[in-house]
Structure 1
Amino acid sequence: MTDDSDIPIRVRPEIAALPAYKQGRQAGADAFKLSSNENPFDPLPGVLEAVQASATAVNRYPDASAGRLRQRLAERYGLDVDAVHIGAGSVSILAQLVQATSGPGDEVIYAWRSFEAYPWLAVVAGASAVQVPLTDDYRHDLDAMAAAITDRTRVVIVCSPNNPTGPIVTQDEFDAFAQKVPSNVLIVLDEAYSEFVTDPAAVDGTRILSARRHPNVVVLRTFSKAFGLAGLRVGYALGHARILDAARTTSIPLSVTAPAEVAALASLDAEEELLERVRAIAERRDRVASGLRDAGWDVPEAQGNFVWLPAHDETLAVAQAFDDAGLIVRPFAGDGIRISIGEEESVEKVLAIAAQAVRDLPSGHRGARAGVQS
């Protein structure tokens, strides 16, 4: 959508011009879906049984606050229950926070490229989206982000590990950054992939909350990725109760379903078994990243459940090569390709296609390591 000339009602021009969110492509029966950062393992039987049992009461509304899950997470993180907020995925909570804080004339700052929902969350709220370029190694430039703050800034979003490029923000970097941000500006630390992180230097939002030095920080996490509940849509926020009250005020009532809450509780009961799967995915990720570098790709640090190929102008052509081989990846035209870590059977195929693709890049392409093209 680029204009409002064919819309039969009045729509805000900036909304008419805004492209809708596009999820990763679905895959056919003979393809590997590596486009949506999903957990490739099937749900645990105990989680499925809990969901099936809860489905017998679908004629009743769910608990609007997901109270049992809030209480469980509050106990887990040593917080008051009002310092926990549950939403239909962490992105829905981010939308609530942006709408609660930002409107016309305000600014929302985030790194770019980062999660593709960030720009339209700002625009939908009526605010201006301020994009701060990543560093040359695809990391957040926190100094530049701090320098971009003005008296119009209402929210700064930090994504660690960064989706789609992969690198973390370190704890030291975040602490120094938080000191520079005015105390009345909301800092959202988006940690959707935190369970996959193996770098001990990475920022940990729960450590920030326990220190109680920055009440303007809200931490977002989700059950969609590591816990494998992407189809049920349940995420959570941790932070100052009054900030989360503002998010609760802007939320769509009853958006977290009873099966989603039950599945999240069952997943916490089965956490150790689920984290064994996470460790397997992280090990697989490291093998894929290493194999891609050996093939000649300049792959940045990978700490989520995905890797980044900096294909730049060749992005769509390289993505087509994967597609032709039955590997559905996520291209971001002009920037690169995010490849989710999927089934073990996909690894060898991913590395083979990537090795051929890097050899086909134009000479001197900045996504290739020096001396590998032929």
Structure 2
Amino acid sequence: MHTNKFLELNANENALGMSDSARLAIVNALDRGFRYPDNPRAALITKIAEINGVPDNQVSLGNGSSENIRAVVQMLQNQALKEGKKFQLVVPDPTFSCAEVYANSIGASVVKVPLTAESYDLDFQNLQKAADEFDGVSLFYLCNPNNPTATITSTTTLKKWVESAPENHYFLLDEAYSEYVTDPSFESGVEWVKQQLSKNIIVVRTFSKLHALAGMRVGYAIANPQAIEAVETFMSVDNTNLSGAVAALATLNDKAFLELSLRTTNQSRQRIEATLNELGLRYLPSQTNFILHEIKGDVKTYIDRMRDNGILVGREFPPITGFSRLTLSTFDEMTVFIKVLKSFRQKGWV
């Protein structure tokens, strides 16, 4: 058990903790810690491929999906350089910053396109414009559902856009939270890879959220075989450690835990939405294990006050102001948060 005195509702981790089956798998693998993890890695790749309905050569394991994201950025910049072209990353703003950080580190230009006002959706027109005005290779990094907004993008619009993109436009679809999506209109980019909608789609996923393995650092990419082969040249060898591989495999096979994990988040979301409705605080429709909600005040002050009450909540995500991101946690942790939030209302703080 972790002994942090704070409730950690700020990093979109899964407070259920890893499954018993994952813990047992790690313990049982410890006596093989002196061996390279080739066999467990291969078994995990096969399991991921099977679940997603693709062959093994369309899966690349990452040391967390952040490694997959880095490798895609590097691979495309390298490809552009070889062809004597320029490379840029185009991102909605705000979104998960990982791709931007890696692009900056290798000197690639980054274009940020603000989300639409009020609905905080992707601004397709201006995203496209940023690529149209650029003479070279553009990579769109699209987190769907998006972080920090917790919302999904219209499948029809996104699909049409990806399908009609020219060959120098690439799409990195980050689906870290896809397992939480309840909206029936949502379609994963994995389906588009299988339909060969475009050869320029790479989808990344993680075991950090629903599977509760953030500390084990396991993620993966799915794309066509040629793209996976190109990306693999930028991945470190044996990048998935033995513990991470066996834990991920055990969790994928643990249907009861995955159902509990999803149910816990869904129930917490309903409770938080009911509380926010009661307090008249706006929130964006969440399809993830976190929710972005209004606080009607200075966000930094709110964060400090929550901290004083033993609760860590998410930072502000400019250009969105006046909203705080809250990780949806266990029943008990949400009970504590709701009590504190309501006490803030009584004091006129939210």
- The question of a shared fold, defined as TM-score above 0.5 by the shorter chain, is answered with yes
Which has the higher relative contact order, 1 or 2, with Cα contacts under 8 A spaced 6 or more apart? Answer: 2
CA distance in 2, matches of 1:262, 1:190: 23
- AA aligned opposite 2:154: T
Give yes or no for contact 1:73–1:84 (8 Å, CA) kept in 2: yes
Give yes or no for contact 1:93–1:236 (8 Å, CA) kept in 2: yes
CA distance in 2, matches of 1:210, 1:332: 37
CA distance in 1, matches of 2:99, 2:218: 19
- AA aligned opposite 1:351: I
Q: Does 1:217 align with 2:201?
A: yes
Gaps of 5+ in 1: 1-26, 363-372
Tell me the alpha carbon deviations over residues 15-65 of structure 1, each in whole angstroms, 9 at most, x when there is no partner.
xxxxxxxxxxxx963321111111111322222111111111222222299
CA distance in 2, matches of 1:191, 1:312: 30
Gaps of 5+ in 2: none
User: Which residues of 2 match residues 257-336 of structure 1 at below 5 A?
Assistant: 257-310=241-294, 314-332=298-316, 334=318, 335=321, 336=323
Q: Does 1:131 align with 2:115?
A: no
Give yes or no for contact 2:58–2:223 (8 Å, CA) kept in 1: yes
Tell me the alpha carbon deviations over residues 216-268 of structure 1, each in whole angstroms, 9 at most, x when there is no partner.
11111111110111110101111111111121101122221011111111111
Q: Does 1:119 align with 2:106?
A: no
Task: Report deviation, 1:115.
Answer: 0.5
Task: Report deviation, 1:94.
Answer: 0.5
SS at structure 1 position matched to 2:238: coil
Deviates more, 1:65-74 or 1:37-46: 65-74
Q: Does 1:187 align with 2:168?
A: no
| Corresponding residue number in structure 2 for 1:81 | 56
Give yes or no for contact 1:312–1:333 (8 Å, CA) kept in 2: no
Instruction: State the 4+ residue runs in structure 1 displaced beyond 4 angstroms.
Output: 310-313, 355-362
Give yes or no for contact 1:160–1:191 (8 Å, CA) kept in 2: yes
Task: Report deviation, 1:351.
Answer: 2.9
CA distance in 2, matches of 1:56, 1:32: 34
Give yes or no for contact 1:113–1:134 (8 Å, CA) kept in 2: yes
SS at structure 2 position matched to 1:146: helix
CA distance in 2, matches of 1:118, 1:359: 41
Give the aligned length. Answer: 337
In the superposition, relative to structure 1, how do residues 355 and 175 fare at CA in structure 2: closer, same or farther (>3 Å)?
A: same
Using the size of structure 1 for normalisation, the TM-score is 0.83
CA distance in 2, matches of 1:358, 1:158: 36
In the superposition, relative to structure 1, how do residues 43 and 290 fare at CA in structure 2: closer, same or farther (>3 Å)?
A: same
| Corresponding residue number in structure 1 for 2:341 | 354
CA distance in 2, matches of 1:312, 1:125: 39
CA distance in 2, matches of 1:120, 1:271: 35
Q: Does 1:142 align with 2:124?
A: yes
User: Which residues of 2 match residues 54-73 of structure 1 at below 5 A?
Assistant: 54-63=29-38, 66-73=41-48
CA-atom RMSD, angstroms? 2.4
CA distance in 2, matches of 1:266, 1:181: 39
- AA aligned opposite 1:259: S
Task: Give 2:236's match in structure 1, choosing from 252, 256, 259.
Answer: 252
CA distance in 1, matches of 2:6, 2:264: 21
Give yes or no for contact 1:64–1:255 (8 Å, CA) kept in 2: no
In the superposition, relative to structure 1, how do residues 30 and 62 fare at CA in structure 2: closer, same or farther (>3 Å)?
A: same
CA distance in 2, matches of 1:360, 1:170: 39
- AA aligned opposite 2:260: E
| Corresponding residue number in structure 1 for 2:327 | 340
Task: Report deviation, 1:192.
Answer: 0.2
In the superposition, relative to structure 1, how do residues 310 and 126 fare at CA in structure 2: closer, same or farther (>3 Å)?
A: farther
Give yes or no for contact 1:108–1:128 (8 Å, CA) kept in 2: yes
SS at structure 2 position matched to 1:189: strand
- AA aligned opposite 2:327: S
| Corresponding residue number in structure 2 for 1:173 | 157
Using the size of structure 2 for normalisation, the TM-score is 0.89
Task: Report deviation, 1:138.
Answer: 2.1
- AA aligned opposite 2:113: V
| Corresponding residue number in structure 2 for 1:109 | 90
Task: Give 2:28's match in structure 1, choosing from 6, 30, 53.
Answer: 53
- AA aligned opposite 2:336: K
Give yes or no for contact 2:36–2:238 (8 Å, CA) kept in 1: yes
Give yes or no for contact 1:102–1:154 (8 Å, CA) kept in 2: no
Give yes or no for contact 1:188–1:218 (8 Å, CA) kept in 2: yes
Question: Identity, % of aligned pairs?
Answer: 27
| Corresponding residue number in structure 2 for 1:368 | none
